[in-house]
Structure 1
Amino acid sequence: MSFKIAIIGAGSVGFTKKLFTDILCVPEFKDIEFALTDVSEHNLQMIKAILDRIVEANRLPTKVTATTDRRKALEGARYVISCVRVGGLEAYADDIRIPLKYGIDQCVGDTICAGGILYGQRNIPVILDFCKDIREVAETNVKFLNYANPMAMNTWAAIEYGKVDTVGLCHGVQHGAEQIAEVLGAKSRQELDYVCSGINHQTWFIDLRLNGRPIGKDELVAAFEAHPVYSQQEKLRIDVLKRFGVYSTESNGHLSEYLPWYRKRPDEITRWIDMSDWIHGETGGYLRYSTETRNWFETEYPQFLEAASKPIDQEKRSNEHASHILEALETNRVYRGHFNVKNDGVITNLPQDAIIESPGFVDRFGINMAAGITLPEACAATCISSINVQRMSVHAAISGDIDLLKLAVLHDPLVGAVSTPEEVWQMVDEMVVAQAAWLPQYAHGVPAARERLSTSQVKTREWAGAARRSVRSIEELRAEKAALKQAG
């Protein structure tokens, strides 16, 4: 087979390498072309060198090109994969820092809450530019695979306004299933069958079967509470399981910021989180992790390049959906996964226009969703709160309506639990002014926002958060990795 895959945001080096090697695990795909594009020439050349080394080491005819000219990369592409982070770590730091001044403590801030909403405002205009180029220069029946957060908002904009055949992809369901299989004592993940449905980062395991035997709430709660690690790392998630009756896909830290109950009081936050790793609830944890990862890659690049000389191990193909979807579409080998698409009747008790994450099957006819799923009422209620925020956020990003943006932030569950309307109005003004370089749709409103900030009487505070850690130096990271290697 010979076709072209364009990867936008290919400078996300580790993730691009994973997608690349996964796809090349499909024997029929050795003759395809990967067209890499990114705004960073530096990152682009680093990842191209790594992928070229993989191609050379495995004696493959695969073609790899790299360009900062996005349209050139998209020309003739059958598949387009997006892993962009608009504004980079500079804008992301403001997504965490500014809300903290108003008492809003986020772990990740990339889906909803104040940080996720502003992240969407930066992403959506760029996503629509991608879609315009895709419609004009890619293959006629091109499929757009979006890995970028905020997943639901980006996918919503691409489908509704970009008019491109789009599917959103995430690995939260797979990771949650791995945990469940482990606590239940499964010998392999294949022993666990499940239906997981909801919206991205708020998807729920509504049907669980181990070797065909149904698993109920009480058995699952007991299994998690007996686990020596997860009982400490997933305290909030286990509490939600007890109250809702079903387990959430998302990590302890992620889930904590989508709900109005667990992060609204600083003295309560530490009760529900675990500091053994950022993903379990640390304030600004993903920002710290991303910063350390970037610094580590820049410093240790020669090691990454050397590692690329090893043969591709097909046994290590990851459970990221992209390679499996492409394999199913091109070879007709059926793949079952969980995909982010427009609802349109798939989940009966969520809005029809929402972007849902639910089971589907892929073959040469496309992605076929399992329709008619009904969520437990509490799960649906929680999802609907987020969907309402997502809808307003998408419409604000499209229209450049700063008042609608403020209303979207006001209706966010955690923001509403912490902040007053006056604080929300000022916080959004502050974030729009700080991120004006990435928010062209709000350019007309920035001068007025800046003027309002100069006369505002709303008090703020400089606060690091309830559980903040400093970014570790390269030397500290090396020492930690050496200690783990010695211990293991």
Structure 2
Amino acid sequence: MSFKIAIIGAGSVGFTKKLFTDILCVPEFRDVEFALTDISEHNLGMIRAILERIVEANNLPTRVTATTDRRRALEGARYVISCVRVGGLDAYADDIRIPLKYGVDQCVGDTICAGGILYGQRNIPVILDFCKDIREVAAPGARFLNYANPMAMNTWAAIEYGKVDTVGLCHGVQHGAAQIAEVLGASSVKELDYICSGINHQTWFVDLRLNGRRIGKEELITAFEAHPVYAKQEKLRIDVLKRFGVYSTESNGHLSEYLPWYRKRPEEITRWIDLSDWIHGETGGYLRHTTETRNWFETDFPRALEQARRPIDPARRSNEHASHILEALETGRVYRGHFNLRNTGVITNLPADAIIESPGFVDRFGINMVSGITLPEACAATCTASINVQRMSVHAAVTGDIDLLKLAVLHDPLVGAVATPEEVWQMVDEMVVAQARWLPQYAEAIPAAQERLSRATVKTREWDGAARQPVRSIEEMRRDKGAAAPAG
């Protein structure tokens, strides 16, 4: 088979490498062309060097091209994969820093909450530009695979406004399933059969079977509380399991910021989180992690290039959905996964226009979702609160309506539990002004926002949050990696 795959945001080096090697694990895809594009020539050069080394080491006919000209990369592409972060770490730092001034303490801030909503405002205009290019220069019927957060908002915009065949992809379900299999003592996650459904980053394991035996709430609670690591790292997640009756896909830190109960007071945050790793709830944890990862990769690039000489091993193919979807569409080999698509009766008690994440099967006829799933009422209520925020956020991003943007932030569960309407209005003004260069749709609204800020009366505070950890130096990271390495 010979076709073209374009990867936008290919400068996300580690993730692009993973997608690339996964796809080349499919024997029929040896002749595929990968067209890489990114706004960073530096990162683009690094990833191209790594991928070309992989091709050379494995004696493959695969072609790798790289360009900062996005339309050129998309020309004739059958599949387009996006893993962009508009604004990079500079904008992301504001997503965490500014809400903290108003008492909104986020761990990740890339899905909803104040940070996730502003992230969507930056991404959606660019996503719609991608869709325009796909319609105009990609292969007829090209499919858009979106890995970029905020997943639901980006996918919603691409489908409703971009008019491109789009699916959103995430790996939260796979990670959650691996945890469950581990605590239940399974030798492999393949022993676990499950139905997981909801919305991205709020999906719920509504049916669990281990080797055909149904696993109930009490057995799962007992298993998690007995686990020597997860009992400490996932306290909040286990509490939600006890109250809702089902386990969430999302980590302790991620889940904490979608709910109005666990992060609204500093003393509550420290009660529920664990600082053994960023993902368990530390303030700005993912910002720290991504900053360290970027710094480490810049230093570690020569080693990454040397590792690219290793043979591709199909047994090490990851559980990221992209390669499996492409394999199913191109070869007809059926793949079962969890996909982000518009709700069309798939989940009976969520809105029809929502982007849901739920089970489906892929073959040469496309992605076919399993319909008629009904979530437990508490899960549906939590998802619906987020969906309402997502809907307003998408429409605000498309229209440049700053009043609707403020209403979206006001209705966010965690923001609403922490901030007053006056605080929200000022916080959004401050975030829009700080990120103006990435928000072209708000160009006309920004002068008025600046004027309001010049006479602002809402008091703020400068603090690092309830559980901030410092960014480690390369030397500290090297030391910690050495300490974590197994003996021998």
2:452 is the counterpart of 1:418: no
Tell me by how many angstroms 1:390 deviates. 0.1
Question: For residue 173 of structure 1, what is the aligned residue in structure 2?
Answer: 173
Question: For residue 46 of structure 1, what is the aligned residue in structure 2?
Answer: 46
Tell me by how many angstroms 1:181 deviates. 0.3
Percent of aligned positions that are identical: 85
| Distance in 2 of aligned mates of 1:268 and 1:49 | 47
Query: What SS is found at the alignment partner of 1:6?
Result: strand
| Distance in 1 of aligned mates of 2:470 and 2:200 | 29
Query: What SS is found at the alignment partner of 2:297?
Result: helix
| Distance in 1 of aligned mates of 2:167 and 2:424 | 32
| Distance in 1 of aligned mates of 2:212 and 2:474 | 48
Tell me by how many angstroms 1:486 deviates. 5.0
What do the CA deviations read for 1:161-207 (whole angstroms, capped 9, x no partner)? 00000000000000000000000011111110000000000000000
| Distance in 2 of aligned mates of 1:374 and 1:398 | 31
Tell me by how many angstroms 1:141 deviates. 1.1
Question: For residue 256 of structure 2, what is the aligned residue in structure 1?
Answer: 256
Question: For residue 324 of structure 1, what is the aligned residue in structure 2?
Answer: 324
Question: For residue 56 of structure 1, what is the aligned residue in structure 2?
Answer: 56
Tell me by how many angstroms 1:481 deviates. 1.0
Question: For residue 182 of structure 2, what is the aligned residue in structure 1?
Answer: 182
Cα distance change of structure 1 residues 369 and 486 upon mapping to structure 2, 3 Å threshold: closer
User: Aligned AA for 1:10?
Assistant: A
2:229 is the counterpart of 1:229: yes
Tell me by how many angstroms 1:32 deviates. 0.5
2:280 is the counterpart of 1:280: yes
Question: For residue 77 of structure 1, what is the aligned residue in structure 2?
Answer: 77
| Distance in 2 of aligned mates of 1:28 and 1:268 | 53
Question: For residue 106 of structure 1, what is the aligned residue in structure 2?
Answer: 106
Paired residues for 1:382-397 under 5 Å: 382-397=382-397
Paired residues for 1:58-457 under 5 Å: 58-457=58-457
Show structure 2 runs of 5+ residues with no match.
none
| Distance in 2 of aligned mates of 1:51 and 1:115 | 33
Query: What SS is found at the alignment partner of 1:56?
Result: helix
Q: How many pairs does the alignment contain?
A: 488
User: Aligned AA for 1:187?
Assistant: S
Question: For residue 483 of structure 1, what is the aligned residue in structure 2?
Answer: 483
| Distance in 2 of aligned mates of 1:237 and 1:478 | 31
What do the CA deviations read for 1:317-336 (whole angstroms, capped 9, x no partner)? 00000000000000000000
| Distance in 2 of aligned mates of 1:312 and 1:193 | 29
Query: What SS is found at the alignment partner of 1:72?
Result: helix
| Distance in 1 of aligned mates of 2:388 and 2:216 | 31
Question: For residue 6 of structure 1, what is the aligned residue in structure 2?
Answer: 6
Query: What SS is found at the alignment partner of 2:444?
Result: helix
Tell me by how many angstroms 1:300 deviates. 1.1
Query: What SS is found at the alignment partner of 2:485?
Result: helix
User: Aligned AA for 1:158?
Assistant: A
Question: For residue 458 of structure 2, what is the aligned residue in structure 1?
Answer: 458
| Distance in 1 of aligned mates of 2:232 and 2:211 | 27
| Distance in 2 of aligned mates of 1:136 and 1:286 | 36
TM-score, normalized by length of structure 2? 1.00
| Distance in 2 of aligned mates of 1:167 and 1:28 | 23
User: Aligned AA for 2:214?
Assistant: P
| Distance in 1 of aligned mates of 2:190 and 2:480 | 34
| Distance in 2 of aligned mates of 1:107 and 1:482 | 26
Query: What SS is found at the alignment partner of 2:132?
Result: helix
What do the CA deviations read for 1:201-259 (whole angstroms, capped 9, x no partner)? 00000000001000000000000000000000000000000000000000000000000
CA root-mean-square deviation: 0.6
| Distance in 2 of aligned mates of 1:183 and 1:486 | 22
| Distance in 2 of aligned mates of 1:484 and 1:422 | 47
User: Aligned AA for 2:22?
Assistant: D
| Distance in 1 of aligned mates of 2:269 and 2:341 | 33
User: Aligned AA for 2:61?
Assistant: P
| Distance in 2 of aligned mates of 1:470 and 1:189 | 35
Show structure 1 runs of 5+ residues with no match.
none
| Distance in 2 of aligned mates of 1:420 and 1:292 | 34
Cα distance change of structure 1 residues 486 and 247 upon mapping to structure 2, 3 Å threshold: closer
Query: What SS is found at the alignment partner of 2:207?
Result: strand
2:25 is the counterpart of 1:25: yes
TM-score, normalized by length of structure 1? 1.00
What do the CA deviations read for 1:445-472 (whole angstroms, capped 9, x no partner)? 1111001001011000001000001100
Tell me by how many angstroms 1:487 deviates. 4.6
| Distance in 1 of aligned mates of 2:487 and 2:460 | 45
User: Aligned AA for 1:39?
Assistant: I
What do the CA deviations read for 1:419-439 (whole angstroms, capped 9, x no partner)? 000000000000000000000
| Distance in 1 of aligned mates of 2:381 and 2:46 | 45
User: Aligned AA for 1:405?
Assistant: L
Tell me by how many angstroms 1:344 deviates. 1.0
| Distance in 1 of aligned mates of 2:218 and 2:485 | 38
